[in-house]
Structure 1
């Protein structure tokens, strides 16, 4: 596997401890998580990865007790990755997103816990890893609120605004905060095509800005 593409850092696994894989495309975030977990003698980070495809590969190769998984990552998002590996490890989402549809989607995908950055302490993160390793979930306050929030499904929103399947994919990525370049990379299309889709989406939603489009798209 090309290490420059997957950004996997393999570490030595201990014995008799909770093995963890950390998946986040931000190297600083990964370093911070590893540093926090490093204060616990019973937790060992066995791999760090920078995208969803690498996360799934690391889980299959290392069979960790816990996977800490970001939502927005290159090549494959965290929710899709959780769907692939939830039967192989205990998935805990560790991300900045607290959108109800994202939280709900992650839980449906098999995630056992959901932590939102800025809403947990080092001790709570360590506790969440220990809980996940035993098969129990831990949720940050915003995640619990999101789980109680009624969510309009993507198909319902698409039907409401008359969006095509591709336009729906683009709009979902806009709602996640993806740039035109990120959308193009994710959907394997050109940025010009992305712009054309966005123009049609804005016309159908009768909006002129991304923020207004996202507000309409996420409102139940």
Structure 2
């Protein structure tokens, strides 16, 4: 019987080794590769085509959430992480994660079951992740607000004349990312990011990141500047 191939992506080598030891003890699982960040995880996933990817959220360089939408196009992804915030759990699932396990809340057997079930589309959640998701769904289920925010964003993109790539980069700026993080997330050079930002700032008539964010999020109206 063919063994299930797994790629482990975690910024902590001790965690990687621990997960590899648990998985390696199973006769029908093989750890084919290990990655220290999202960019390496994507490269190794393309090279090895694993059956399952175990992905941490917080890693140096390209983090797990940034790499997730690219990874799920290549293999089922199971989040295995210390990050337990409701927003992160929700975002990971919206981006395609097939389960969410928080360290300290699962046994070796539970991890193995989650790995076996991932390619079958059967999600697994540890208690904190399940309750965080439930809480997030209860508190953030406001369709009218979501539609209003989407409408505002679309209105601003039209008003300011931003391209689809500039809209993507402006959203990343608004999320607090640095130029380096944006470059890694979009798989472009920092120089290209700077060129995009210069054009975005010109279109938004903004001199700083905070001013551009304010205009983009609608807290400052187009046509009104602080310089008269």
Flag whether TM exceeds 0.5 (same fold): yes
**Which residue does the alignment assign to 2:28?**
42
Please show how residues 176-187 of structure 1 align to structure 2 within 5 Å: 186=181
Match among 106, 111, 115 for residue 129 of structure 1? 115
**Which residue does the alignment assign to 2:49?**
63
Q: Using the alignment, how far apart are the partners of 2:98 and 2:182 within structure 1? A: 28
Q: Decide whether aligned partners of structure 1 residues 36 and 166 sit closer, same or farther in structure 2, where only a CA change above 3 A counts.
A: closer
The DSSP-based 3-state class of the residue aligned with 1:148 is helix
Please show how residues 58-137 of structure 1 align to structure 2 within 5 Å: 58-137=44-123
CA contact under 8 A between 1:66 and 1:91: conserved in structure 2? Answer: yes
Q: Using the alignment, how far apart are the partners of 1:74 and 1:128 within structure 2? A: 26
**Which residue does the alignment assign to 1:205?**
none
Q: Using the alignment, how far apart are the partners of 1:116 and 1:127 within structure 2? A: 15
Larger Rg: 2
Q: Decide whether aligned partners of structure 1 residues 47 and 187 sit closer, same or farther in structure 2, where only a CA change above 3 A counts.
A: same
Q: Give the TM-score, by structure 1 length.
A: 0.65
The DSSP-based 3-state class of the residue aligned with 1:138 is coil
State the shift of 1:197 in Å: 8.1
**Which residue does the alignment assign to 2:134?**
148
**Which residue does the alignment assign to 1:207?**
none
Q: Using the alignment, how far apart are the partners of 2:54 and 2:172 within structure 1? A: 30
Q: Using the alignment, how far apart are the partners of 1:127 and 1:93 within structure 2? A: 14
State the shift of 1:87 in Å: 2.4
- The Cα offsets for residues 125-177 of structure 1, whole Å up to 9 and x where unpaired, read as 11110011222111111110011113658x97xx9xxxx9677433xx7xxxx
Match among 175, 181, 190 for residue 169 of structure 1? 175
Moved over 2 A (4+): 150-153, 164-170, 183-189
Q: Using the alignment, how far apart are the partners of 1:117 and 1:77 within structure 2? A: 17
Q: Decide whether aligned partners of structure 1 residues 110 and 123 sit closer, same or farther in structure 2, where only a CA change above 3 A counts.
A: same
- The Cα offsets for residues 76-128 of structure 1, whole Å up to 9 and x where unpaired, read as 12122110121221100000011111001101111101000000011111111
More helix by share: 2
Alignment RMSD, CA only? 2.7
